[in-house]
Amino acid sequence: MTAALPETMTVIDIRQPGGPDVLVPARRPVPRPGPGEYLVKVAAAGINGADLSQREGRYPMPPGAPDILGLEVAGTVVAAGPGTSRWKLGDPLCALVAGGGYAEYCLAPEVQCLPVPRGLDLVQAAALPEVVMTVWVNVFEHGALEPGETLLVHGGSSGIGTTAIQLARLLGARVLATAGNAEKCAACVKLGAERAIDYRAEDFVAVTKQVTGGAGVDVVLDMVGADYLARNLDLLKMNGRLVMIAFLGGVKTEIDLRMIQAKHAVLTGSRLRPRSLWEKQRIRDVVERAVWPFYADGRMVPVIDSKFPLVEARQAHERMRSGKHIGKVMLVP
């Protein structure tokens, strides 16, 4: 199935590794879907930290991934490859993709596509696939967060953070968060954090211990890495889990390994992009069943910071790099 399609499309190219100014509009052929794939006319694409790392040349690309940035999109189906069945031409969907989202058209494997939750528009839907799957895998699978346990979310006002706060609270956990200023802290509390800690003005270890009566937390979701490692371990309860998903504060540090042994702690981390198609399908199926109903009935909301036209990808990356955003920064072709 194929609608009438143009021969070429606007995409965002990376001229060379570097800052946001290396992002430039370019023309590329419109791809055609292969077996099990849809071609999606992109209505919106989410920007993620991995995009910034790839732009800078610091993100190892999985084999076969497109060189165009963009890991999550929403739009309408304009062509369907052999073996697809769930969506038809003109249907809306959102999708996790291995790349290619910064474009007017993007290929999406059917096993990584999701319906648009009832009540959400396509921009809101495009903010979901990457962050929801990342939060689910890291907080609830690797972190094994259980109802009644306490989660500390670093970067609580980010796309990942705003999703983790809402979902953990809905699933019965107690949530604390760190953020970079009073406005961001207020946003975290509004979303369900019991206490948001301004890490620029407060010692997050001292505040967390005070709030928990000295007990600490069961799970830490960390995006900082080296700079926070020893402090995160200090905060863990017995059998606590520290899950690392990014390294904004560096990748190398020195710690006393007895801290891990003494607390029976688990130190772990994961990446979503290099996983197999079928592992992504498994995660897709779980979040559609367990999380999508929260969006459909309004108990969870995508937090959108700002929207930029596709050709202003440079400005969108500058917004992300500034750290001033609360929630997701989006591209709208």
Domain boundaries, the chain: 8-128+273-332, 132-269
For the chain, the average pLDDT equals: 95
For residue 24, pLDDT over 90 is answered with yes
Q: What does the pLDDT read at residue 61? A: 79
Q: How much of the chain exceeds pLDDT 70, in percent?
A: 99
The architecture (CATH level 2) of 8-128+273-332 comes to Alpha-Beta Complex (3.90)
Cβ–Cβ under 8 Å, residues 62 and 14? no
For residue 51, pLDDT over 90 is answered with yes
pTM for the full model? Answer: 0.95
Q: What does the pLDDT read at residue 171? A: 98
Q: What does the pLDDT read at residue 3? A: 64
State how far the Cα of 178 lies from the Cα of 187, in Å rounded to an integer: 11
For residue 168, pLDDT over 70 is answered with yes
Higher pLDDT, 242 or 254: 242
Q: What does the pLDDT read at residue 1? A: 59
Q: Return all residues near 4 (Cβ < 8 A) that are at least 6 apart.
A: none
Annotate 248-276 with b (16+ C-beta within 10 A) or e (fewer).
Answer: eeeeeeeeeeebbeebebbbeeeebbebe
Fold of 132-269: Rossmann fold (3.40.50)
Confidence of residue 63 (pLDDT cuts 50, 70, 90): confident
